[in-house]
Amino acid sequence: MDRIRMTTPLVEMDGDEMTRILWKHIKDELLEPFVELKTEYYDLGLPYREATKDQVTVDAALATKKYGVAVKCATITPNRARVEEYGLSEMWKSPNGTIRAILDGTVFRAPIIVKGVEPYVKNWKKPITIARHAYGDVYKSVELVAEGPGKAELIFRGEDGTEKNVTVHEFGGAGILQAMHNTDASVASFARACFNYALDTKQDLWFGAKDTISKKYDHRFKDLFEEIYEQEYRARFEEAGITYFYSLIDDIVARVIRSEGGFIWACKNYDGDVMSDMVATAFGSLSMMTSVLLSPEGYYEYEAAHGTVQRHYYAYLKGQETSTNPIATIFAWTGALRKRGELDGIPELMRFADLLEKASIDTVESGVMTKDLALLSTLENKKTVNYKEFMAEIRKNLEEALASC
């Protein structure tokens, strides 16, 4: 069989530890035999970030702007222990943070659902994708402790000389204060990323905030979403048969729990932090969560939501057998290849991505799975395998699927 050809390179960002091992094995066993992979390779593994003084991360992000689609392996975000372990000259910033700052994107996280690993919420049948606004609010707030009685004020001094001033509180005793902000530009870019992703994946978009209480702050979010929707997206949503829906955040939470899934839930920064962990846990497993960064200009970066699985890597280094789940990393590749196929008009590449995803899910549903899933799965005849055996089984299913169509 001829391998599928690509026309535009995919930006490939390699990473660290166990996921770096999986990365190579996925390429060798599940991709290269079927696709003439065309990638522009960036090694974001910590040793090379150190060697380039983290320039490689910046270069990888700029390449994503050039080509439009990237796939990224999990990477170490250095802390003090890592500085020692890798002899780093500096505690390099989180690569994801650096890339996000350059692409200005929104991160969408969605679970991969398989039979046998049932969501804790029994009526959830389809994935719920969380879109978290990644700028401002309490994450960029300033705080202050008032030691005793006094008056707190919030002042804005415009460059044009105008001034606005409100009293926050007249303290009768000690207390605490916080001021936070967001910008129209950031909220608008978040809204557009959400609308674009909804169109892209043909799913409804839900957004919740607390505009009844926060009549200026949260109301601004609501208004900007509404304005952008009406002016730029309503017609396209109607054509695609999807809807945009705003409600109060508490109402949205109740509806999410009662829903059967299958939509995108746009969250303000803090809500997204809390709710993405809630949704991920309720769907079953972190190892089955995908993540895609979409920039307002339409650049895509696909990755798994989990980290480098450090504990498994140390076991691997000792020669022990590891049963690390490669599915989310495989889906990062399939997401990127499908998008490349869509942009370049290569239907075989899109179909290959679909079949590889299906082969991965079929493998688990047939009872062959890694340990993390075996611990959760309710299937009766399940077999726990190591990552190599698991990928060999996926390959077998993939080859059968490719042969039969």
48 contacts ligand NAP (rule: CB under 6 A) = no
| Residue 371 and residue 6 in contact, taking contact as beta carbons nearer than 8 Å | no
Based on the shown chain and the rule CB under 6 A, indicate whether residue 128 belongs to the binding site for ligand NAP: no
Per-residue burial over 253-262, b = 16 or more CB atoms within 10 Å of its CB, e = otherwise: beebeebebe
- φ/ψ (deg, to 5) at 183: -120, 150
What are the Cα distances from residue 178, in Å, to 141, 145, 175, 294, 400? 7, 9, 11, 31, 60
CA dist 334 and 360 (Å) reads 11
Q: By rule CB under 5 A, what count of residues binds Mg ion?
A: 1
Give the H/E segment covering residue 336. helix 327-344
Sole binder of Mg ion in the list 204, 273, 348, 399 (CB under 5 A): 273
Give the nearest residue (CB) to ligand NAP.
Answer: 307
Is residue 311 a contact residue for ligand NAP (CB under 6 A)?
A: yes
307: contact with Mg ion by CB under 5 A: no
Q: Which of 196, 324, 360, 363 binds ligand NAP (CB under 6 A)?
A: 324
Q: Which two tokens stand for residue 166?
A: 């409100």
* Interface stretch with ligand NAP, choices 61-69, 70-78, 250-258, 397-405 (CB under 6 A): 70-78
Q: How far is the CB of 360 from ligand NAP (least distance, A)?
A: 13
Token pair for 313: 């890597």
Among 8, 52, 77, 243, binds ligand NAP (CB under 6 A): 77
User: Which are the contacts of 316, defined by CB distance < 8 A and separation ≥ 6?
Assistant: 18, 21, 322
CA dist 162 → 165, 166, 181, 219 (Å): 10, 14, 19, 23
To ligand NAP, the closest distance from the beta carbon of 17 in angstroms equals 7
Q: Does 286 bind ligand NAP (CB under 6 A)?
A: yes
**Binding-site partner at residue 311 among ligand NAP, Mg ion, none, CB < 5 to 8 Å by type:** ligand NAP
Judged by CB under 6 A, which of 26, 61, 76, 275 binds ligand NAP?
76
Residue 200 in contact with Mg ion, rule: CB under 5 A: no
Size of the site for ligand NAP (CB under 6 A): 17
Q: Considering CB distances under 5 to 8 angstroms, the limit depending on partner class, which of ligand NAP, Mg ion, none binds residue 273? A: Mg ion
The piece of 216-224, 268-276, 312-320, 365-373 that touches Mg ion (CB under 5 A) is 268-276
95 half-sphere exposure, CB direction, 13 A CA radius: 32
- Is 57 a binding residue for ligand NAP by CB under 6 A? The answer is no
365 part of the interface to Mg ion, by CB under 5 A: no
Q: What's the closest the beta carbon of residue 23 comes to ligand NAP, in angstroms?
A: 12
Q: Which two tokens stand for residue 118?
A: 């049932």
By CB under 6 A, residue 325 contacts ligand NAP: yes
Residue environment code for 363-372, b if the CB has 16+ CB neighbours within 10 A, otherwise e: bbebebbbbb
Should residue 6 be labelled a site residue for ligand NAP when binding is judged by CB under 6 A? Answer: no
Query: DSSP string of 185-218?
Result: HHHHHHHHHHHHHHHHHT-EEEEEE-TTT-TTHH
User: Which of the listed partners (ligand NAP, Mg ion, none) does 76 bind, with a CB threshold of 5 to 8 Å by partner kind?
Assistant: ligand NAP
Dihedral sign for Cα atoms in the order 253, 255, 260, 264: negative
Task: Say whether residue 110 binds ligand NAP (CB under 6 A).
Answer: no
Minimal distance, residue 310 CB to ligand NAP, in Å: 4
How far apart (Å, rounded) are the C-alpha atoms in residues 69 and 357? 19
Residue number with CB closer to Mg ion (51 or 278): 278
In angstroms, how far is the first alpha carbon of the chain from the final one? Answer: 12
Q: Does 96 bind ligand NAP (CB under 6 A)?
A: yes
Residue 308 in the binding site for ligand NAP (CB under 6 A): yes
Applying CB under 6 A, which residues contact ligand NAP?
74-77, 96, 286-287, 303, 306-311, 324-325, 372
